[in-house]
Amino acid sequence: MRSFTEDCHPEYLLLTGGEPLLRPRLVSALARSAREAGTSTYLLTGMFFARSGTIPGPVLRAIADLDHVAVSIDGFHSEFVPRDQVFRAMHLMAAEGVDLSVQITGWGDDDPELADNVAAVRTEFGDRVPVLAGLVQPYGRARMLPRADQPASADLGGPCSLAAWPVIGPDGTITACCNQAAVDGVAVPGDGRPGHLELGHAARDDWPVILDRCLTAPLLKAVRVLGPHVTARLAGATEDTTGYCQACWRLGESPGTGQWAASAAGRSVIALMEPRVADSASLRGPAGFVRRQGSARFADLVLLGSEGG
């Protein structure tokens, strides 16, 4: 964080967990340091403190230092913090001028609990609060199982929109991808993290170094611009058909993929496609991102509270 400068800083700093507000003074320090450099802060919380009926002073001070707070509401969280208590705390935060949104997770687009939570938020806040609806995804060994909505043999081609989100994991390792298996270092059995997704370590690498690696690493750029399946195909490597992320993780197993991405031919293809991929993502906008990565049914709700939303 101390390496952020006015001339070189990320646009956003996302604080997630676990529960980041268990360390409210650290959250405040990070948010203030980020603001000095020009970086906006976003925090995702499970609202553990809402059970008290008030917002503890250290938590409220930390929230006041942030630019945006996203609140998790779903069956997993409501087991510990009832929804009405979360809403009460959100009203208290809104009265303090806190910019809010809600993140809801469901089992699928047809999950009745997901629909019920979405309806409750819209009723309570009158469409003034954006809603990001995500879906539970397989993790661990389950990610290798076929799914009814996504056969294991499906070719989920296309660029990876998540290969440009540097994430600091619990051990300080920074990955270029927010996939939990990659962050936890369990993506590749026996090897841990795929080498092309590892950007460095928070204890030794500053932001300019991480940014440069993220933007210029040839194989990482290929994944971001072409996607893992197309990259493997063009490099003449064996494609992994068990899933999109699995195909990415296996790219590093073949030296030829990295060599192709760094070659004149690879760089030419990537340079040709990069502006087109960026334009396509821009045209799809926030709702398009959610439609691809989360709930297609509720994707447009991410625009609530914005102009034209």
Averaged over 186-212, what is the pLDDT?
88
Tokens of 286: 């926030």
CA torsion, ordered 235, 153, 225, 188, to nearest 10 deg: -80
Does position 101 have pLDDT exceeding 70, yes or no? yes
> 154: pLDDT confidence band, cut at 50, 70 and 90?
very low
Identify whether the C-beta of residue 213 lies closer than 8 Å to the C-beta of residue 196.
no
Neighbours of 196 (CB within 10 A): 23
The widest CA-to-CA distance across the chain, in whole angstroms, is: 62
Per-residue confidence (pLDDT) for residue 237, from 0 to 100:
87
pLDDT, one tens digit per residue, over 66-80 is 999 999 999 889 999
Averaged over 34-47, what is the pLDDT?
97
Does position 19 have pLDDT exceeding 90, yes or no? yes
Closest CA to 265 of 222, 301, 220: 222
Measured between alpha carbons, how far is residue 106 from residues 25, 53, 72, 103, 113 in Å? 32, 26, 11, 10, 7
Q: Is 126 left (phi over 0), alpha (psi -120 to 50) or beta?
A: left
